[in-house]
Amino acid sequence: MELLQSHRAEMISIAVALVAIVGGSAYYYYLTRKPKGLLDPDNFKEFKLVKRTQLSHNVANFRFALPTPTSVLGLPIGQHMSCRGKDALGEEVIKPYTPTTLDSDVGYFELVIKMYPQGRMSHHFREMREGDYLAVKGPKGRFKYQPNQVRAFGMIAGGTGITPMFQVTRAILENPDDKTNIHLIYANVTYEDILLKEELDNLASNFPNRFSVYYVLNQPPEGWDGGVGFVSKEMIGARCPAPAPDIQILRCGPPPMNKAMGAHLDDLGYAPTMQFKF
């Protein structure tokens, strides 16, 4: 009898131990389970264009499906990916783009593309139709963002340079634990060239104490009350946070603009550590 009871106690102990191991493993899996990003930094992967929305005569929003409704692209905030296509001569072209979506937008990613008449990759996007596939790889980029890494960002964007700014802005404002303030200066040639204006205006309206946007146009329409001409030192001084160890100025735009903005920032006293160029 004693032998039987001893054997039963041993079996119960083993069963309890197994339950503990299995339960512990399941709990560990639950705690550590995170969707794996689909991007590959070394190899191109193809994603299907499921919706193309024309925003203006030369700008469109492209939505690409991920394999499942819960899949995530896996692109860190502020980084970009390489897109591969063919130009008008059928030659391969690769160009970097930043999605306007975040990994919180599961199941898809979106690109807002301005298609220039002579642009090689622009030709590829101009010819893309729903059902076609785009080859991308990544992530790429030197910018690494952590919530609350600075007290405030100043952002200076030109044209399509708004896309990384928009991505970073969304990530900050949609995170209730991130208290970073954002001051954006966005320059374009005409009013029609302003990308994501409705989305930017909505963010400014929803987060009036956290986000501000100042539009600058080279060729403004009649009655325009924003900035006129090129982004000046005075505009930066008035609209961006003053130089300090806990602020950073981000800039992204055409090369001539980037060069001019770098000179303005140097003149205003922003140290190299306070500046970042996408």
**110-138 residue pLDDT tens:** 999 999 999 999 999 999 999 999 999 99
Is residue 100 within 8 A of residue 86, CB to CB? The reply is no
The CATH code of domain 45-139 reads 2.40.30.10
Compute how many other C-beta atoms are within 10 angstroms of the C-beta atom of residue 136: 25
> How confident is the model over 71-83, as pLDDT tens digits?
999 999 999 999 9
Q: Which of 100, 163, 169, 252 is catalytic?
A: 252
To the nearest 10°, report the CA torsion of 148, 150, 154, 156: -80
- Mean pLDDT value across residues 67-71: 96
Question: Phi and psi for 39 in degrees, rounded to 5?
Answer: -65, 145
Instruction: Tell me which amino acid residue 241 is.
Output: P
Is the model more confident about 22 or about 228? 228
Angle, helix 162-173 to helix 197-206, in steps of 10 degrees: 30
Position 9 scores a pLDDT of: 45
Distance of CA 6 to the CA centre of its chain: 63
Examine the residue annotation and report whether 7 is marked as an active-site residue of this protein. no
| Portions of the chain given CATH number 2.40.30.10 | 45-139
User: Taken in order 209, 61, 146, 249, is the CA torsion positive or negative?
Assistant: negative
Q: What single-letter amino acid sits at 51? A: K
**Closest by CA position to 128, among listed 111, 103, 150:** 111
Q: Which residues belong to CATH 3.40.50.80 in the chain?
A: 152-277
Single out the catalytic residue among 80, 124, 183, 264.
Answer: 80
Annotated active-site residue 83? The verdict is no
Q: What is the pLDDT of residues 144-197, one digit of tens each?
A: 999 999 999 999 999 999 999 999 999 999 999 999 999 999 999 999 999 999
Our answer to whether residue 264 is catalytic in this structure is no
Q: What is the CATH number of domain 152-277?
A: 3.40.50.80
Beta bridge partners of 216: 187, 227
Closest CA to 62 of 90, 94, 99: 99
Report in angstroms the alpha-carbon separations of 187 from 226, 228, 274. Answer: 10, 9, 21
The structure tokens listed for 52 are 């193309």
pLDDT at 12: 43
Say whether 124 is catalytic. no
Q: Are strands 59-65 and 45-54 parallel, antiparallel or unpaired?
A: antiparallel
Q: Residue 154 to residues 210, 224, 266, 269: CA-CA distances in angstroms? A: 12, 23, 14, 14
The answer to whether 78 and 141 are in contact (CB under 8 A) is yes
Closest CA to 240 of 208, 206, 213: 213
CA dihedral 19→20→22→24, nearest 10 degrees, is: 150
| Confidence grade of residue 35 (pLDDT, cut at 50, 70, 90) | low
Distance CA 120, CA 109 (A): 22
Question: Any idea what the Cα angle at residue 68 is, between residues 62 and 70, rounded to 5°?
Answer: 95
Catalytic residue among 83, 98, 108, 186: 98
CB 241 within 8 A of CB 210: no
pTM: 0.83
